[in-house]
Structure formats: structure tokens, C-alpha cells
Structure 1
């Protein structure tokens, strides 16, 4: 490796040099430790290694009848790179000062590869400086030069071998589920002693930050937050980065939140060099929840939509019935200074479409939405029939799920065996790393799905059934609920009940319910439920004399379980 030196900057001799005679032998001392921790160990400003190296170099200087006039200290700098700040300053120093010796504690303090060692040694030699080791018999004699070359080669071998051993150890640790390096936000690196007194390093959930991380994944999965608004909410809830000896706790940056949402560590996986392994740490997020977050993040990147603060509780819900653009809020001021709010078509305003939708007075639109709630809420007799049909269909699905569970368990066991064989083949060199990662991702996704299906036991079915019953109750009392809440809760109600509401005029309004209300508010479903209720009352079977019976109307491909927990 060649060293690129900055242009020389001549400096005046120090006052120490002025006091010394020209016949005095002068020397400089170079000191280095590889990490910041070494430089601060024991709470000392220079740790323990730097003072020890300085003392050894001073003893060597006394043996040479020389005086050390300058120390050059690289604290926390690796010898694997040559562009260390104090090393570069030292080389510039010897060009402008008469120095006889450059004393180092060991050759490996100067460089740990042969090319850098040769380059640094030549730079010192051209300046008339002899390199001397305080602990090794290195000088300009042939035997000293031979030993210098041997020690430099040994230092390079040690550095490369150490890197290889460290990498091997990290690979093995990751393969057994351990965590390499600092755990991400929400976890703490913990060191304990086992029964034999051995130090055991592990990772545990941070009691202060782990609940906030869990909430962040749950909130983002609803689709109601962008990464920007999620960060703001987390900061309001008190999330900070863990403090360190160098940095105090502070609010997380946006990139920290974005990395957190995409880090598979939170669902129980550790990654190393592109491969993924099952971690032994406690997951903060269920696998299906993590994949749901990835889907939401992808959708946000595709659409470019940002969740922003709403100026009006209907903003973000209303769309133009002609061109499909959002309706935006604007204010018109009269000559007397009175402000009148209107909803206008964003497509027409930006001239992206040929829409001729007129502006709509906000109070009139508010009244139209209130009346729409009154018109679509489910009557009591329909609600009773619909509840009976939903419960019956749900029980059928539950019975089928029990049968499917055995199939899922068998497939899960097969996939786990396949994953084990895949890792064994990779260790044997039969499967390259890129193929290993692709196959691991495929197996992990399928296992996450299967685990979610298997764990859907009776308790979850009962909870979901109760949740659906709550949604039915809301649908049967929509108007009263909407009229009794404030503007902020009205916005939540609109987002819970509808994917969007389209307006062609102030009174021509049409809602597009979201799941599960798209099923509950469907007039065809109402008619089917009433007919089945009548058949049951008359003692007929459900399929007897019922034309056009179609369970798909009642439960579509996505099922009847709500996709949002907003309600």
C-alpha cells in the first residue's frame, strides 16, 4: 500500500529544541493503540497501554543517549491502515526537524502489512531518521534489517490470521443464534456469570425501549403512519437511543426508525454476511407482524404517500367522483374578510385531469356525510340475521382450520428438515451463499405463515369472533356513534369504516367500505341473511329452495377477519 502524504507544512522548531544544543541527539516517539476502549481503559485519559509504551520508549532513548522531543500518539487507530493522523504528522515533522531516531515500542505499532512498513521505513530513511524498536533488536545493521523484515512479516501474518479467526468466530456465533456486536435499539447487551464463574454475554429486551419498539411495529402495520410520523410519535412517547460513554441518550433519527422497521432481528433472526440464522434472543415482533410491516413499507415506497396531519377530519377520506383524485381543502375570503372553506378536486386544481368538478362548501359536505351514515347503518332485524349467518360461517371455518392444522404441522416439520439440510450442504461447500440466502428467505416466509396458522387456536378464534361481533354492533349504530364524537374521532371512524368516500356533488355521495364492513354493509349479504333466517324459522335447510346461494358473498377470498385494529 502506498502512502499519500499531504504537502509539507514547515513549522518552527519547538522551544524544547531551542534549549538543546546542536550536538544533542534528538529522538521522537510513536505510540499507538488499536481501539478507543484501550485508550480510555480504567477511566484514565490515556488508558494503560500508552503510558507503558511511552516509558519503554524513554528507557530506549536513554540507552541511546538521546532525548525524546516529541510524542506522536494514535489512540484508537488500526495499524492495518497507513493514513493515521499522527503517523502522517510524524512523517512531515521529520522532514523539517533534525531527528536521529524514531522509537517505537514494537514494529507492529507502526504497520501490520509489509507494503506499508516498507513505505514508512523509506520515508523515515530519506529524512535521515533511524527506526528503533524499544523491545526488539532492530537497527540499520544487516542483522537488524533482517530481523526488521522478519518481524514486519510476522506482524502482517498476525493481523491477517487474527482477522480470519475473528471472522470464523463471528460466523460460528451467528450460526448458533448469537448476536455479533451491539444489539439494535430495544435490546441490551448483557454480561453475566454462569455457575462456574465464566462470563456469558447475551442479549435481553430493554425494559424501557422494548415496549415502544413493539408498539412501533403494530402501529406501522396499520398503514396509518409513515416513517416520519411514526418517529414523531415515538419521540413523544419517550423513545431515545441508549446512552454510551461517548454519547448521551438522544431522540432516534429517521434512518434509525427506517432501519428498525426492516431489521429481521426483531422477529428472531440474526444475519451475518448475507445469511440468516435463527437467533437465541427473544423476538419483539411476531414473524407475520414483521412481514406485514414490510408490505406496508413497500406500498408506501411505491405510492410515495405520506401520512400527514389533517386540517379537517374529512380530508384524506374524500375523493372526486369524476376523476378519482383526492379532494383538498381550500379557503375563500369574501370582500368583508369572511373565510368560507371548500373542498376542491386536486386533479382539477393541478390540471392533471380534465375534471370539471365544482368546489363544494365544507358544511354542506359534512351534513351529507352525516346523512349517509344514517342511511347505511344496519337495521336491527337485519343485524340479528347477519350475526347468525356470520357466526355459522365462522364456526365452519373453525372446523376446517382444525383439519388444516395437521397438514400445516406436517409441512412445517418438513421445511425445518429442509432448512437443516440446506445449512449442512452450505457448510460442505455444495450450496453457494447467494443461493443459501434465497432459499432461507423462501423457507422463512413459509414457516412464518405456517406458524401463524398453527398457533391460531381456540382462544384466538373466540377473540376474533368477539371482535367481529363488536364490528357488527358498530355497523348497527354507526350514525349515533358518528354524531356523538368529536372531529378527531370522526376522522378515525371514517378511516375505520371506509377506504374512501367519493363525491360527484355535495349530495351525490358514495362510500367504499373497508373490511370487514364491506361485507356487513353489502345489501346482497343482507338479503341473503334475511332469507336464510326465514328458512330457518320455517324449518327448511339452508340450501333447500334457495336460488343463487353463494357463500362467497358472505366470505370472500380475504376472509371476514378485519385487517385493521383501528375500530
Structure 2
């Protein structure tokens, strides 16, 4: 270590004082000829400081008695005592320690009595600085249990004991971490259980203590209700927190903090904690837990989806709320914000204003527009949207044939997915074995776990849904077409909350230009329906998504499953989507990921099997870095075929 590497808080003057030696101090009067001494007492944890219900626990009084005996042996009297109840010695930033150093700087002291060197510091650098400060003030450090003094052998012993204290601290931390990682990998809970669960201790038949997790009988059902209620889409965090307070949900009391109602921030933490779906997280690595889950993975995923959607910038009610907030945009591309200014008579006027102009982020010169004009323009735009009854019948016929063809092809896909699932599960086991053997770092373990977990989730969801996906997709399609055939009338009669849901479900953006013309950008599912080719010769209409992961049939199933509503017709739409979205999740991953890519619908091959020359060409191109998707499109085969031929 060089001087430039030293901590900025290091007192080099104190280190030099270690070489100069102690300065002499006069013995104060009134001590009966005895030398003044101070004692420093410390325990590492709050539990030690209050053990057996005693005010100072058991260790502090024992250290005090030993210090008093040592002072008698030295012919000294303790004039000040500094107690550190429940503070680690890994750092010198301790209140009582700093008070002690301030005391010796202003008062004559001959001895500083400690029980052991590790009571003062568990860091060699801190120990050297503290010792130098004591010597500079003319104070001799005395250990009750160790033979340290200012002689060469005493200094050597001091250095050895300080090194042992530091080694003990570092080694203990490493061993504790290793044990907690092992416990988490076996599905145990390595820390305090979250609200809704209890840490319990039981004794088995052989007298061994077993630490386990049990459901909290007072809070578990309320936590389950919180997830179920928020997954319905009808609650905000603040209203749900108030409801939970009304139902009696409080935090667990501790010796330092009493029980209190769950805040909005704590509720958000609860709803985003994967522990409630049976997953243990330790050091950013996740493991399947052995505790009883309070919610299903489907409910947890739906909650995360709603949390993300409710976190849209511009869609949160601040002072005033309106059902168009977050959905409408100015022609310059910025959102229109809702304002309610008042004139000198106190009359309020509702306007939409361009945020680009209002916040001076754009050169937009658009003036404010009255809210009722925006509402009228959008209501009129809805009258121009949708399809006729004849168009709906033809679209239903075309897409129905596509769904039937895809359903017939699902047998081959199920076999491919089952094989890939077995391969991923084997990889998961090998990954954990390599981690236990310290063969891979923790960050790589986390990355690989995330990849395998996402792939398995997509494959399992796909396998679960293969039997009913296309049937439910037809139900969802029928519900959408029912809405689209009478969209203008439905929107005109809807309540504000229902209009908000329709806007968010049907369109990614509604733009109002300077001339107050309305243009809409439908979501992908609606755009696909409206763009369907209903000509008699069309044999495949369902498009493939941009990532090359197969058709977006799942969009027909769960695109709007989270929009609850009060109007009967919208309720039917939501019901159909909820029915079809049971466990269906859109594949997640890179376009060339063989596990994710294969979870989409296979593209049926209409040509003869690949020739040897084609296989050789495919392998050569793959070796040159050509992607699996590109090769699948070039040769007109499924991605799984490319993987099988080129691996």
C-alpha cells in the first residue's frame, strides 16, 4: 500500500506518535494517590446487550467486574466507563469509542482497560490508529485477558492478537455466508421471514433444534387477499393499503418498534417479493423454497404486470385525475397533461396542455385545448373505428381456420418442448453443483439461473396451454370482434373508468394534432385483426412477431386480461380473456434462444425433407455466425430443426 492508497480519514500524525512514544501526564488529585483509568466495554449484538431480559445482558457486567479487578491490580481507579451495547468492531465509527477518544484528549488518563483486544477493534488499521491515539495522549492500553504492554514482546503480542481478531471476523463472515448460501440452496429461509410468515423453532425427537417457517395465522390470509385484490386491477396501492388497515393488517412488533399499519411503500415491497410465490432470494440469486407459498405464480405475475402498467409516466393521479391522462399525445409527440386553472373569480377551467411546451422541453407552440373538446373528438374517433358485422364474420372464419391448423400441429411441438424442458432441468442441476464446488462466480450463477428460469417458465406455460390455447384464443377473438362491431356506441355509453380501460386496452397512443384531428395507434392484437386478409385464397393470416418467435396467438388470449370493468359487454370481454390467459405467458428471451423460440407455434413445412447438401450448407452458415432464425427462414424450416441439424 502506498500513501496514495491510504484512506482519507487516516491520521498520519497519530501513526507518527506511535513511534515518538507516550507523553507524561500528571496524576490528578482526589484519587487517593491512584492512577486514573477508563474502561471500554462492548458486545457485538443487541441480543447480547439485553439477554435474559436484563438491562445490560450478561457480558457487560462481567466485563465491568474484570476491569475493576484489573484496575485494583494496577493501583488505579476507573474514573470513566464507556459502554458499546450491540456494535460491531469492524469499523471505528462507534459512538462510545469516539466519546472515549474525545475524553482522553481533554482529561488526564493513565490506563485504558479492555477485556480483550477484539473488544477495541477487529480491523488492524483501526487498531493501529486507536492505539496511536492512546499513546499520543499518554494512555497505556491494558487487556484483562491478554499480556500486552509497551515492551517489545507486549507490542508483538498486541499485533498478533489484533491480526487474530481481524482473521476471526473475516473468517466468521465467510463461514456464515457459506452456511446461508447452503441453506438457501436447499430451500430454507436464510433471513427474517417477511410479513405473513413466522420464524419458528421446534425440537425434534432427538432433541435437535429445527428452525423453520410457518404461516402467520393473523396475517397470512390478509397478505393473500392483498395479492388477489391487486391482481383484479380494481385497486390502487393507496386504496388497498387503507383497506388492509381497516381489516387489521399490522407489521410485527419488535423490541424497538411497535406494530403499525402497512404503508403504501411497504405494500409495494410485499407485492414485489417473490418469496410469497415460493422463491427464496439470497445475494441476488433465487432458489425454489420449501415454505408454503401464499400466492400462485400466475397471480404473482399478474400483479407485477399491473404494477408496471400503473407506473406509466403521466398516468398517475397527482392533484387532479382524468380518464384520458396518459393515453393522449400532442402532435409533437409529447403527452398532453391535465390542468385545472382558476380565474380571479375562482371558476375552474379544465384544459389539456402539451407537456413539451409546458415544461419547455420542445418548441411546440400548441395552445391549451378545453377538456370537453378533446373528449368529443375522441368519442367521434371511436365512431370511425371497428369493423362491420360482415367483416367480423369473415375475420372470424379466416383466423378460426388458422387456429385450427395450429392446434393440429401442437403434437410435434409438445414433444420438442418436453425434450427441451428435460435438458434445461439437467442444466439447472449441473449449475448448482458447479456453484457448490466454487467453479462459477455468483454473478454468472445469477445470470444463468435467470435464463433457465425464464425458459422453463415459458416452456411450462406453453405445455400447460397447448390443449386449450387455440380454443380460448377463439373465445377471445369472438369477444374482441363483438366489441369492435359496436365500438362507438360502447364507448359513448361507458363510464369514465371504463373509457380509460378501453383506451389502454385498444390503443398504444391517441394523438390530437394542432387542427384537433385524432389519430390512433392500435395495440398489436387489434392491429392484427383489423389488418386480416379475408380473401378466400388466404391460407395463413396470423403474422409472426418481430423477434421471430412465432405467431402472436397468445395476444388474442391475454392481451386485455387485466382490465376489469363494470359494463356487461366489457365484462364478457375480460371474462373471455381471463379464461384464455390462465397460465399463458408470452415467451421471453433472445430471438435466437432455442428454448424460448421453440415455445412459439411451429411454421409448418410444405416442402420435402432437407437434403444432405442443404444440411451441409446450413451447418456451414451456422458456423459463420448466421442466426438460427435467419437459417429457418432461408430453408423454410422450424428453428428447432436448425438446432437439431447444426448442434
- Which deviations, in whole Å up to 9, do the C-alpha atoms of 1:494-515 show, x marking residues without a partner? 3233333344588854443335
**What is the rounded CA distance, in whole Å, between the counterparts of 2:279 and 2:378 in structure 1?**
47
Can you give the 5+ residue segments of structure 1 that lack an aligned partner in the other structure?
A: 9-16, 532-545
Q: 1:32 aligns with which of 42, 54, 65?
A: 42
The 5 A counterparts of 1:529-548 are 546-548=536-538
Alignment pair present for 1:438 and 2:428: no
Q: 2:558 aligns with which of 558, 562, 565?
A: 562
Q: 2:521 aligns with which of 506, 509, 512?
A: 512
Aligned-pair CA distance for 1:47: 1.9
Classify 1:492/1:287 alpha carbon distance in 2 versus 1 (closer, same or farther; 3 Å): closer
Aligned-pair CA distance for 1:413: 1.1
**What is the rounded CA distance, in whole Å, between the counterparts of 2:309 and 2:396 in structure 1?**
36
Alignment pair present for 1:110 and 2:120: yes
What corresponds to 2:507 in structure 1? 498
- Which deviations, in whole Å up to 9, do the C-alpha atoms of 1:246-271 show, x marking residues without a partner? 234365575x6787777665665545
Q: 2:422 aligns with which of 410, 413, 418?
A: 413
Deviation larger for 332-341 or 501-510: 332-341
What corresponds to 1:235 in structure 2? 241
**What is the rounded CA distance, in whole Å, between the counterparts of 1:83 and 1:483 in structure 2?**
66
Q: 2:463 aligns with which of 446, 454, 466?
A: 454
Classify 1:213/1:60 alpha carbon distance in 2 versus 1 (closer, same or farther; 3 Å): farther
Q: 1:286 aligns with which of 297, 301, 308?
A: 297
Can you give the 5+ residue segments of structure 2 that lack an aligned partner in the other structure?
A: 1-5, 15-26, 564-573, 575-647
- Which deviations, in whole Å up to 9, do the C-alpha atoms of 1:467-506 show, x marking residues without a partner? 5544444444544543444323322233233333344588
2:542 match: secondary structure: helix
Aligned-pair CA distance for 1:85: 2.5
8 Å CA contact 1:475, 1:517 repeated in 2 = no
What corresponds to 1:538 in structure 2? none
Classify 1:478/1:56 alpha carbon distance in 2 versus 1 (closer, same or farther; 3 Å): same
**What is the rounded CA distance, in whole Å, between the counterparts of 2:145 and 2:355 in structure 1?**
78
**What is the rounded CA distance, in whole Å, between the counterparts of 1:378 and 1:486 in structure 2?**
23
Q: 2:177 aligns with which of 161, 164, 167?
A: 167
Aligned-pair CA distance for 1:33: 0.2
Give me the TM-score of the superposition, normalised by structure 2: 0.66
Aligned-pair CA distance for 1:32: 0.5
8 Å CA contact 1:315, 1:329 repeated in 2 = yes
Aligned-pair CA distance for 1:53: 1.8
8 Å CA contact 1:132, 1:139 repeated in 2 = yes
What corresponds to 2:640 in structure 1? none
8 Å CA contact 1:364, 1:506 repeated in 2 = no
Q: 2:210 aligns with which of 187, 200, 203?
A: 200
- Which deviations, in whole Å up to 9, do the C-alpha atoms of 1:266-323 show, x marking residues without a partner? 66554555655444445656389659959986997xx965634564333433344x54
What corresponds to 1:536 in structure 2? none
What corresponds to 2:107 in structure 1? 97
Alignment pair present for 1:182 and 2:178: no
8 Å CA contact 2:195, 2:251 repeated in 1 = yes
Classify 1:125/1:487 alpha carbon distance in 2 versus 1 (closer, same or farther; 3 Å): closer
1:28 match: secondary structure: strand
Deviation larger for 438-447 or 501-510: 501-510
**What is the rounded CA distance, in whole Å, between the counterparts of 1:504 and 1:147 in structure 2?**
82
**What is the rounded CA distance, in whole Å, between the counterparts of 2:435 and 2:256 in structure 1?**
41
- Which deviations, in whole Å up to 9, do the C-alpha atoms of 1:232-256 show, x marking residues without a partner? 45534448765433234365575x6
Classify 1:408/1:293 alpha carbon distance in 2 versus 1 (closer, same or farther; 3 Å): same
- Which deviations, in whole Å up to 9, do the C-alpha atoms of 1:5-57 show, x marking residues without a partner? 7999xxxxxxxx99944413443222100012211223333222212222333
Deviation larger for 353-362 or 126-135: 353-362
What corresponds to 1:72 in structure 2? 82
Classify 1:192/1:31 alpha carbon distance in 2 versus 1 (closer, same or farther; 3 Å): same
**What is the rounded CA distance, in whole Å, between the counterparts of 2:374 and 2:283 in structure 1?**
57
Aligned-pair CA distance for 1:414: 0.5
What corresponds to 1:542 in structure 2? none
- Which deviations, in whole Å up to 9, do the C-alpha atoms of 1:314-361 show, x marking residues without a partner? 3433344x5444445567989999766555655577787787878655
**What is the rounded CA distance, in whole Å, between the counterparts of 1:478 and 1:32 in structure 2?**
73
Aligned-pair CA distance for 1:119: 4.6
1:551 match: secondary structure: coil
Aligned-pair CA distance for 1:91: 3.3
**What is the rounded CA distance, in whole Å, between the counterparts of 1:355 and 1:402 in structure 2?**
56
Classify 1:48/1:463 alpha carbon distance in 2 versus 1 (closer, same or farther; 3 Å): farther
**What is the rounded CA distance, in whole Å, between the counterparts of 2:55 and 2:12 in structure 1?**
29
